Chain A
C-alpha cells in the first residue's frame, strides 16, 4: 500500500450523475446479455447509489487503487457485482470494454467481487451477510491508525435476514464507529422469498430495516435511493454524525429504469434478449438522443 496525493472525490452535477446512471444501466443490461448469465434487478436498483458515491463522494484515485488513505467501499450484496464493475470502469479503473469479459473464464470480473483479481475492490463478497463485518474492521483500523478515511458498506435488504449483519450492527454501535456508513438498497424484492397475499409478487424480505438498525444503536437516515441530490445529502449527514455509525435506508425499485423489469421479482437474474435491450435502450437513452 502507498499514500496518494491524488485522493479526491469527483464532483459531478446532478444532470451529469443522472446521465452516468443511464449509461451504467445500459452497460449492465448489455453485459448481462453478453455474459448470458447474471443478476439484473439488483444491479439496476443499486446503480444510483454507486454512481453518486463514485462520482461525487469517495476520495479515491484510480491510478493508485491501493492507497492507504482512500475511502473504502464494500458491496456486501456481491451478486450486484456488474453494477460495481461498470461504475469502476466508468471511473477509470480499467477499460469499459473489459465489461464484455464479465463471468468468462480467466476474467478479472468474476461473478462475485474477488479482492485478488481486480483493482478498486476493497473486499471479496458474495456469501451474503458478510460485508458489514470487514467494513467495521476497516473503520476500527482507520481509528487505530489515526486516518480519516470513511468506510461505506452497501447492503441488500434480503441479506439483512442473515444473523451476522446484526452481530456486526451490535459491535459497530458498541465501538461507536462514526467513520462507518451502511447503505441498505431497500428494493423490497428477494430472489424467491415468501409469496405476497396478492399472488402476483413477493413479500418484502424484512420490515422496517431502519427501525431495526435504530434499535441496535445506529443513526438512521431514510431516503430515496434513486434521487441523486437526496443521496448526496444523506452522505453528508451521515459523515457529520459523530456519535456512532449511520445506516442510510435507500428506498429503491428492483429493475429501476426499465419499465418491464421494475418491481418484477422474475427479473432478479433473468438474461435480457436482444429485443429487451432495444426496448430498454430507448427508455435509458439520454434525453438529447431521443427524438
Chain B
C-alpha cells in the first residue's frame, strides 16, 4: 500500500478520455451527474460521443441498449443507487437478457457517499447484479486497478457493472499488477485466517491483517475484484489453507461478496466464516469515519471478527 490517494472517479474520468481516444465506437451517456461522476472529462475530450440523457435513468439504459445494437459501446454515468434500482427492469429486459454490450458504471457506491444519506447509498448493487445472468460484476479496490479493469471491459463484449467509490483511497496494487476479469489476487499470505475482500474495503482488510499481525496472527488477504464470474478456485484455496474466512465489503452482507463466498464454501468446503459488511439495515448521512465505525466496517471490526473465529473450536474437522 502506498501513501498515494487517488479518487476513483478522477481515474474513471481520465480512463474514459483515454479509452475514447483509442476506441472510436465508445460513447458515454450521463444522467445529469457528469460533474460528480467525472464523465464531464469525456465530454470535454469527445463532445460528439457524449450524450446527456437528463434525470431519466430508465430511458438512459434503454437508449444505451439501442446504441449497443448499432455497434457502439455505451458507458453509463450515474450513481450506483439509481443505476441498480431505478433502472433495474430496463437493465434486465433490454441489456442483460439479450446480453448487449453496455458498461454500467455506478459511482458513489457503498456507504461512503459524501454525507448524502440512505437514498444515495448503494448497499445492494452487488447482490442485484451478481444475480443477473450474463452481467459481469467488477468492484475495483483502487484507481490503478480501476484503469486496468476499464481497459479489460473494452476488450470484452459482455454487459458489465462497474462499481466505483467517491472519495480518494490508497493505491494498493503494485506496479506489476495485471487485472484480469474473473481473477482474484492474493495480496497477503498467512496460514491462520483468510480475509476475502472486495472494492475499497480491501484497503481496510489489509489494515486488519496488520492489526492481527501485532498479536501474532498471520492472515491471508484475497482481493476479489470480480464478483461475477467469481474466482472460486482462489477462494477455496484460501479456505483450505486457513480453515477460517472473514469477508469484507462496503455493501450489505446479504447476497454480496459475503453471500457469494458462503455459497461457494457451503457447497464445496464448509468453513467457519464471518461476514463484515452492512447488516440488514439502511445507512444515514455522516462523515466517513463515523459511518465506518457505526456500521462496523473498520479494520478493527474485521480483525475482531477474525479473532472471534480463531477462538472457536473448528466447526468442521479436517
Contacts and interface: CB of A to CB of B under 8 A. Distances in A.
The answer to whether A and B come from one shared complex is yes
Interface residues of A, number: 36
Contacts of B97: 114-116, 124
Interface in B44-68: 48-49, 51, 53-54, 56, 58-68
A-B complex: 3 closest residue pairs judged by Cβ atoms: A137-B66, A133-B62, A141-B70
Interface string A83-98: 0000000000000000
A127 interface: yes
B64 to A, nearest CB: 6
A140 B66 contact: yes
Given A127-B92, A134-B62, 17 more contacts: A116-B97, A116-B99, A123-B69, A123-B98, A124-B93, A125-B93, A130-B89, A133-B65, A133-B94, A136-B59, A137-B70, A141-B66, A144-B49, A151-B66, A164-B58, A167-B54, A170-B54
Contacts of B92: 127
Contact of B67 (A130, A140, A163, A168): A140
B69 A122 contact: yes
A134 B71 CA distance: 13
Contacts of B90: 130, 133, 164
A68 B62 CA distance: 19
A127 B93 contact: yes
B309 interface: no
Interface of B: 27, 48-49, 51, 53-54, 56, 58-72, 74, 89-90, 92-94, 97-99
Interface in A159-195: 163-164, 167-168, 170-171, 174-175
A105 interface: no
B88 to A, nearest CB: 11
Nearest to B92: A127
A141 B49 contact: no
Contacts of B74: 137
Interface in A1-36: 1
Of the listed residues A72, A163, A167, the one surrounded by the most CB atoms of chain B closer than 10 A to its CB is A167
Nearest to A140: B67
A170 B290 CA distance: 42
